[in-house]
Every structure is written in C-alpha cells, then in structure tokens.
Structure 1
Amino acid sequence: MDVTELLPSRLYVLGFPVGQVYLWRGDDGLTLVDTGLPGSAPAIAAALRGLGHRPGDVRRVLLTHHHVDHAGSAAEIAGWGEVTVHAHAADAPVVRGAASGAPIRFTGDWERALYEQVHADLPDVPAPPVEVARELGDGDVIDLGGEEAVALAAPGHTAGSVAFHLPGARVLFTGDTIARAPGGEVMPGVFNADPAAAAVSMRRQLELDVRVTCFGHGAPLVT
C-alpha cells in the first residue's frame, strides 16, 4: 500500500492493489472515505501510525457505496473506537446486511468481460455488515472537524451511491461514479446498476468547483 499526501497535512490517499482509501485530518480527529476490501484494516492502521496517529483517532467513516471493495473493512474499523459510519439511506440496508444491492446492468459484452477479469480475485461475498449510525440524504452536511463535507446523492452505480464535496477545500470524493483510466483520462464509472442515472450523476459532479478529485479507482486528479 502506498500513502500519498494530496493536500499538506490534511488529505492523503492510501492506495491498494484494488481501490483506494482516503484520509482527511480534521481538528477533532480523522475521517476515512471508504475502507477497502475485507482485511484492509491492519494496513490502514499501519498507515495512520506512520502519520503519527492511532487507529482510535478515527472519528468517522464515509462510505461512497456498499460494494465490497469500498465497505469491506468498515466493520473492523468501526470497532477501533468511537467511529460513526455514514452511508446514503438507499445503501444503508445493504451495508447493515439487511438487503442485497441491485444487480449490474452491463452495457455490452466488453463490460461483462472486464467485470469478470477485475473480480476474478475479489471476494464473491458482500462486505461484512456494520451498523450505519447516520443515513445520508442529498445535501446533508457532515462536520469533519473544521471542514464541512456535503453529501451529494449520485445514484446509478448503486442506488445509494454518494459523492462527498468539500466546498471550502475544493475536494470531491466520487466513489465509483467517476473513474480515471491508467492513461489519465477521466471517465464514467463502470459496473452500474442504472447506467442512465450514473451518467446524470457524473454530469452533476463535473459542474462543481474542485481542485482535487478523489476517485474510487484511478489516480487522484490535482489541478
């Protein structure tokens, strides 16, 4: 796992072989945006210690959606201390283990083949269930300890996909609603439950004033 500073002393990306976890340093402790695959918690804890923190300094987890490569370690991290798990109301039942997510609507054989390739080595099970202490709706504001994050409902990848916009810092966490290709191109996210809704959600985010865009997959974009 690689740790890269994106904003001095504030924002870091923890890069895993599959997906990314983002760390925001607030005045009251730490916020994690997504948690990686199951089993990622020890590596995340090691990264926090490397930055001079303890796992118990995590105050909140913001989940962009329920997929196992994003919510997979939320349950373990929630056990580190006083950690509030946030998820959109539409995905919260899936995160809690009380419901199943909608199936993917593949747009062609190419996407189905890509899905099979990407998921060949991933767990074929949901993320371990965890209690969602705060269910989010569009426009809800989350205090990150001196910085506000606005939850932007971004349905399409999942019914409850949500992006997080920090207007003061001009940072956007897209989850899997938008991705970045290995060549650097910004592209729509793939493997969507509702491709038409996903396209609308992407267009909405592209209208925001952002200097750092943090994708669920692909290198962050700093402008």
Structure 2
Amino acid sequence: MDLIELLPRLHLLRFPVGQAYLWRDGDALTLVDAGPAGSGAEIAEAVTALGHRPRSVRRIVLTHFHEDHAGGAAEFAALSGAEVLAHRLEAPVVRGDVPGPEPVFEEWERPLHARALELLPEGDFARPGQVTEVSGGDVLDLGGGAHVLHVPGHTDGSIALHLPEHGVLFTGDTVAASPVDGTVMPGVFNRDGAAVLTACRRLAELDTDVACFGHGDPVRGRAGRTLREAFPP
C-alpha cells in the first residue's frame, strides 16, 4: 500500500485495486473507503506512521459496497472502534444481509474486471456488525460539514462527499482517472451507465479544488474546471 500526501490534512492510501483517503480534523480522522479484505492492519500502520493512533479514526465512510472499497471496513473498525457509515441502500449489502447486484458490463469491461478480480483476495470479506445509514442531503461532522450526495449509477446507493469549506470532493467510483494518461472519465463496472454520466455532470457543477477518485490519480487544483471539461452539460 502507498501513502501519499495530497494536502496537509488529506492523504491517499493506494491498494493494488482501489484506494481510500484519510481526512484529518485536528486529532480526529475520517477514513473514506477502506480498501479490499486484508487492508485493516495496513491502514492502522498508515495511521500510526502519520503520528496518530488507530482509535483517532472516528468514522469510516463507504462510498459503495464493492469489495475493493468495503472489504477492509470491518477489520479496521475492529482495530479502531470507528463507526462505519454507508448509504441506506448499500448498508444491507455491506452488512451481508443481502447480496449486492452485479454490474451491467460492457464487453470491453469484462477483461478489465477479470484482471481486477485476480488482484483481489478470494472469497467474501468480514462484515461490520453495525452500519450507520446515511442519505443524500445529510451533512456529516467532518471538514466543516461534509455533504452527502446520492449519486446512483455505479451502484444504487453510491455516494460522494463534498467538503465545501475546503473545496474537496470524494467521488467514489462515479468518476475515475485513466491509469494511462490521467484523463478524467466516468467510472467503470456500473449498474446504469446513463445514470453515472448524469451523476458526473452533477458533481462537475460543484465548487471543487481537489477531486479524489476511487481509482486513478486525484485532481489537485481547479478540479471543478477539469470535471466540467470532462463532463459538459
């Protein structure tokens, strides 16, 4: 796992598949997504390397239920005591109460998905016993007020987090950056591609300086303009 500083209070945690983010408010930390199964101890090590205790992480906000984002949540919650949050439509899947619906693959996505599966641990992952449910329009107590945006399309209950006070946006897998040239693009492996594009345009309307994606390099500086260029009305 790579640990990369984006801002003095924001770090990127990059896994073989997917990535997570650590946001700091004073001595309190928030983890946005939690990597795949087996990531709990690595996240704890990263938190410690930054001079904090794992118990400084108060909450884990999951942008959606896929294993490369939610797989490490129960492990790290057990180590830290952090509260796990997810959209009300995702929470039953995160808890393991119901199976998650499959993406509707484009043909060109199938080999990409097969490659991703080769890099992920086999089998199911540990499930958090408690998941706090959130909805679009909620405001979380971090970063001066983190606005929860319901952006269905990648999954039915996908969310983004917008911190207006800091100009920071966490898009989850709704938006991605190409690993080849960094081009900003809609995420892949979606339930509804048209809905994803609508969500991308909605996120592009926000006043954003730093955009943090579920896959690919974040945009650091004038991210709103980059998103609007990628997703014109």
2:147 corresponding residue in structure 1 = 150
SS of equivalent residue, structure 1 residue 93: helix
1:94 corresponding residue in structure 2 = 93
Contact 2:16 2:119 in 1 (8 A): no
- The yes-or-no answer on 1:176 pairing with 2:173 is yes
CA distance, structure 2, for counterparts of residue 72 and residue 133 of structure 1: 14
Listed as ranges, the gaps of 5+ residues in structure 2 are: 222-233
What letter corresponds to residue 14 of structure 1 in structure 2?
Answer: L
> How many aligned positions are there?
220
Of 160, 172, 177 in structure 1, the residue corresponding to residue 157 of structure 2 is 160
Q: Which has the higher helix share?
A: 2
CA distance, structure 2, for counterparts of residue 194 and residue 102 of structure 1: 12
Contact 2:64 2:159 in 1 (8 A): yes
Q: How many Å apart are 1:126 and its aligned residue?
A: 4.1
TM-score normalized by structure 2?
0.90
What letter corresponds to residue 164 of structure 1 in structure 2?
Answer: L
1:138 corresponding residue in structure 2 = 136
Residue identity over aligned pairs, in percent, reads 54
Give the alignment of 1:44-83 within 5 angstroms: 44-83=43-82
What letter corresponds to residue 201 of structure 2 in structure 1?
Answer: R
Q: How many Å apart are 1:117 and its aligned residue?
A: 2.1
What letter corresponds to residue 102 of structure 2 in structure 1?
Answer: P
- CA distance 1:173–1:123, change in 2 (3 Å): same
CA distance, structure 2, for counterparts of residue 192 and residue 11 of structure 1: 27
Query: How much is the aligned-residue C-alpha RMSD, in angstroms?
Result: 1.4
- CA distance 1:133–1:105, change in 2 (3 Å): closer
What letter corresponds to residue 146 of structure 2 in structure 1?
Answer: A
CA distance, structure 1, for counterparts of residue 105 and residue 69 of structure 2: 20
CA distance, structure 2, for counterparts of residue 4 and residue 81 of structure 1: 21
1:205 corresponding residue in structure 2 = 203
- CA distance 1:51–1:17, change in 2 (3 Å): same
SS of equivalent residue, structure 1 residue 80: helix
- CA distance 1:200–1:127, change in 2 (3 Å): farther
CA distance, structure 1, for counterparts of residue 184 and residue 49 of structure 2: 31
Deviation beyond 3 Å, 4+ runs, structure 1: 123-127
SS of equivalent residue, structure 2 residue 79: coil
Contact 1:95 1:131 in 2 (8 A): no
CA distance, structure 2, for counterparts of residue 221 and residue 3 of structure 1: 16
1:116-167 Cα shifts (integer Å, max 9, x gaps) = 12222323544421134421111100002x5211110011111111000001
Moved more, 92-101 or 73-82: 73-82
SS of equivalent residue, structure 1 residue 79: helix
1:77-109 Cα shifts (integer Å, max 9, x gaps) = 1112441111000100000100111111112x2
CA distance, structure 1, for counterparts of residue 155 and residue 185 of structure 2: 17
Q: How many Å apart are 1:185 and its aligned residue?
A: 0.3
CA distance, structure 2, for counterparts of residue 205 and residue 126 of structure 1: 32
What letter corresponds to residue 177 of structure 2 in structure 1?
Answer: R
2:185 corresponding residue in structure 1 = 187
What letter corresponds to residue 64 of structure 2 in structure 1?
Answer: H
- The yes-or-no answer on 1:219 pairing with 2:214 is no
Contact 1:56 1:81 in 2 (8 A): yes
CA distance, structure 2, for counterparts of residue 94 and residue 159 of structure 1: 11
